[in-house]
Structure 1
Amino acid sequence: MTVLSALKPALTPFLRFVHNEAFAGVLLVCVALLAFAWANSPWAESYFALRSTYFKLSLGSAEFKLSLEHWANDGLMAVFFLLVGLEIKRELIIVELASRRRATLAVAAAAGGMLVPAGLYALLNGGGAGASGWGVPMATDIAFALGVLALLGPRVPLGLKVFLTALAIVDDLGAVLVIAAFYTSGLQLGFVALAALTWGAALFLGWRGAFSLKVYAVLGALLWFFVLESGLHATLAGVMLALAVPIRKPDPAGYLAPLNAVPQTGSGEEEDARLRDLEDLLERAQSPLHRLEHAIHPFVTYAVLPAFALMNAGVALGGGLGTVSLGILLGLLLGKPLGVVGGAWLAVRLGLAALPQRVHWGHMAGAGLLAGIGFTMSLFVTNLAFEGSALLTQAKLGVLLASLIAAVLGAGVLLVVGKGRDTPEDPWEAAS
């Protein structure tokens, strides 16, 4: 028996933990705490020097130069938004949001969870120097929120996890639209035209059934550059590319023939070859959207989001809380649960939707608080709203503090309300 096989029973629970959303949330928390501690330590100067270090790419005489902070925010986060776009497309077409009931409850809750926080923020900051930050408390960090639910385990009914996932997907779509419509600088029409042509080519190839991910990788890189230079935020290129990637599966006739050519029985080498063909078959039987989503999900979880947290969570204390911080706190901690629960209640009251099985309004209140964990998306919008402003640090502090409090309060409420009654398995059927 090898050492690895002897340790396998002990390692298995940890490996399962690593692959779920709980680990993604914990990893983000650890990196954020590291950045925050570093920015307020005697070595703070090295932290801010790292963020402002420039890294360049050269292609012949052309040179492309951005700081590490901008590479994380404009480059790596484009891959994050690509994953968000793929999830939105998948959810809308085949999964949680495919039925009218699921979509109505999630859309109503998400709409309330975006409008109420923005309105509360505007009450404190409308017309002032921080007025542009109204979009900051509108967002939900899906990794953190689902991570908290995962840590609570069976105390939380499955229907609530499905609802919160659908809510976060709709919330992400709203955030993308807000960024595109309200946080865009002056447009360079030439690059806008190039971006449109590139996106059109990707959409056409997706419609025609181009299943090679290499094609979309090349077009995605070009689209990112053109969108960056156009004045639109570069991360929108990720969502645009996701909309072009086909979700339909390839014709099985194209990949079954090589498998059928392998003998059913034979030597060990022939059987190994057949197993390899089976693995390749399973890979090619998936749609390009699913293959791309599975390919980039680990990269986003273990590289993109931690890098973003490291570059953005390092907030040096000093100025204290102001109206911008208070507006974000009010929006995320009060506006989010009021908006989410209020929107869902209205949809149920009007008969347009029903709560999932085993989920009651106490659970919904806990989910509304967890939706106040803004972190990644809120910090991202903060950078857009207050770039170059003295209010940037104050806004980031508000996001970090509100996200921490929302996580604690949401988990506490869900622990108190408990799991709920045992009912049939379908989490989306209303209780009789």
Structure 2
Amino acid sequence: MAKPGILNRTVGNFKALFKADAFEGILLISVAVVALVVANSGAAGSYFSLFNDYLWSKDVFYLNTLHLWINDGLMAIFFFVVGLEVKRELVCGNLADPKARTLPVLAAIAGMAAPIGVFLLVTGGDPQLLPGMAIPAATDIAFAMGIVGLLGTRVPRSLRLFLLTVAIVDDIGAVAIIAIFYSDPNVMWLGISAAVLLGMIAMNRLGISSLALYILGTLILWYCVLNSGVHATIAGVLAAFTIPVVTKDGTQMLENVEHALVPWSAYLVVPIFGFANAGVSLEGLGLDALLDPLPLAIASGLVIGKQVGIFSTVWLAVKTGIVSKPPGCSWVEIWGVSILTGIGFTMSLFIGELAFEGSSETMRFLRDEAKIGILTGSLISAVMGYVILRLTTDRPESAVDDPNSPVT
């Protein structure tokens, strides 16, 4: 008969899987596995046809496949939620206090630069692979926080907040990269988009509190940005920044909208995106495919570049007295959390689709290789980070109903 203590811990660990942050990570892992299985089963033909068959001519409307509707349309909701989260953090969260944001901002910058450096080193600056250099620079908030959620109170609150803030700054950087490097602007539509955005900013300044008008403005902005050559999802981030934090009547509009959309984004939008993009046919590919320059560079950037860039920056910043070490944690725990930032998944897959966009056989092959690198690097980072944090902390395990868990 099992001892009560062991039984309680087992039940606690099982319940922890269904905490919001933990469940998001488990869901994304499951979606990726299912996509890979389907893409390499007898249903592979139907899977790829579902997402890539043309619905109509591009002359009728640019979004002419389900895959494009997911990546350019549905994912705008995800980016809108990211924008809301970033604005909240800048106004009243972890990024509002200059002292509190110094360490995670420095870490995030290094955590984006180092993987790019590793990518360039591994690929030898191959011009054909160069567009993919930003792929390992991203961190998946839901996935990384999901792993932390599984660990419960083994990870101190200060490190949870550090990881969350780094991932948010990381997202800001990823959005900037998409806007700058993966766009081909149309000046006329760009001007119209700017006018719509200015109109939404004016609504905010004038104290207009009609959510319906902001939703309408967001839809119009999305359509204009879609035609501008800048990736349409950027419209989601820009529109989110125009949402009032508090309206004249005291309504917490930004927080209310964020809370309403987060479940839809986490449990519908991102899983659909993951299922549509994580599927890659492994036919004819052996383990040696991981040693091809592109997947090896991406996986190395995520696993090595992320942890080296972030951990070394934190260590140097603390040792030189620029900042203080996050309270209540050891250097090994900081290292473990640094490794978790190598979980790229959602944003990395998204950038990978943009980096090697096109219908040619070469572009499809490079996209598939990029996916292999992303999935491999993310899996290694997730397992490695989890094991290190699990084995190197002596904190009591209390994974259920942790009152100090940050809202993500």
TM tier, smaller: 0.7 to 0.9
C-alpha offsets along residues 184-239 of structure 1, whole Å, 9 cap, x if unaligned?
12x21111111011101011111222222111110111111110111000000001
TM-score for both structures, normalised by structure 1: 0.83
Displacement after TM superposition at 1:402 (Å): 0.7
- The match for 2:140 is 141
Q: Structure 1's 54 and 21: CA in aligned 2 closer, same or farther, altered over 3 A?
A: farther
Structure 2 distance, partners of 1:224, 1:14, is 41
SS at match of 2:134: helix
Match among 262, 287, 299 for residue 329 of structure 1: 299
C-alpha offsets along residues 29-86 of structure 1, whole Å, 9 cap, x if unaligned?
11111111000112210110111144579xxxx7664211111111111110010111
Match among 355, 380, 393 for residue 418 of structure 1: 393
Structure 1 distance, partners of 2:14, 2:155, is 21
User: Any conservation in 2 of the 1:333–1:402 contact (CA below 8 Å)?
Assistant: yes
Q: Structure 1's 145 and 12: CA in aligned 2 closer, same or farther, altered over 3 A?
A: closer
SS at match of 1:334: helix
Matched, 1:296 2:261: yes
Displacement after TM superposition at 1:387 (Å): 1.2
- The match for 2:203 is 205
User: Any conservation in 2 of the 1:340–1:368 contact (CA below 8 Å)?
Assistant: yes
User: Any conservation in 2 of the 1:359–1:420 contact (CA below 8 Å)?
Assistant: no
User: Any conservation in 2 of the 1:21–1:147 contact (CA below 8 Å)?
Assistant: yes
Q: Structure 1's 296 and 55: CA in aligned 2 closer, same or farther, altered over 3 A?
A: farther
Moved over 4 A (4+): 11-19, 54-57, 62-65
> What does 1:23-422 correspond to in 2, within 5 Å?
23-55=23-55, 65-125=63-123, 126-185=125-184, 187-252=185-250, 285-286=251-252, 288-317=253-282, 318-319=284-285, 320-321=289-290, 322-388=292-358, 389=363, 390-419=365-394
Structure 2 distance, partners of 1:179, 1:299, is 23
Q: Structure 1's 49 and 107: CA in aligned 2 closer, same or farther, altered over 3 A?
A: same
Structure 2 distance, partners of 1:152, 1:55, is 44
- Structure 1 residue runs of 5 or longer lacking an equivalent are 1-10, 253-284, 428-432
Displacement after TM superposition at 1:89 (Å): 0.8
Amino acid in the other structure paired with 1:66: N
Displacement after TM superposition at 1:12 (Å): 12
Q: Structure 1's 155 and 391: CA in aligned 2 closer, same or farther, altered over 3 A?
A: same
User: Any conservation in 2 of the 1:325–1:397 contact (CA below 8 Å)?
Assistant: yes
- Structure 2 residue runs of 5 or longer lacking an equivalent are 1-10, 397-402
Q: Structure 1's 12 and 76: CA in aligned 2 closer, same or farther, altered over 3 A?
A: farther
Q: Please say which structure displays the higher CA radius of gyration.
A: 1
User: Any conservation in 1 of the 2:16–2:149 contact (CA below 8 Å)?
Assistant: no
TM-score for both structures, normalised by structure 2: 0.87
Structure 2 distance, partners of 1:237, 1:398, is 28
Amino acid in the other structure paired with 1:150: G
Displacement after TM superposition at 1:416 (Å): 1.9
Q: Structure 1's 37 and 199: CA in aligned 2 closer, same or farther, altered over 3 A?
A: same
Q: Structure 1's 19 and 215: CA in aligned 2 closer, same or farther, altered over 3 A?
A: farther
Amino acid in the other structure paired with 2:269: V
Displacement after TM superposition at 1:366 (Å): 0.5
Q: Structure 1's 206 and 54: CA in aligned 2 closer, same or farther, altered over 3 A?
A: farther
Displacement after TM superposition at 1:15 (Å): 8.7
Displacement after TM superposition at 1:294 (Å): 1.0
Amino acid in the other structure paired with 2:179: A
Displacement after TM superposition at 1:250 (Å): 3.0
Report the count of equivalent residues: 378
Percent of aligned positions with the same letter in both sequences? 42
Structure 2 distance, partners of 1:248, 1:94, is 12
Structure 2 distance, partners of 1:119, 1:39, is 32
Amino acid in the other structure paired with 1:311: A
Displacement after TM superposition at 1:304 (Å): 0.4
Structure 2 distance, partners of 1:127, 1:143, is 32
Structure 2 distance, partners of 1:241, 1:55, is 28
Structure 1 distance, partners of 2:13, 2:113, is 41
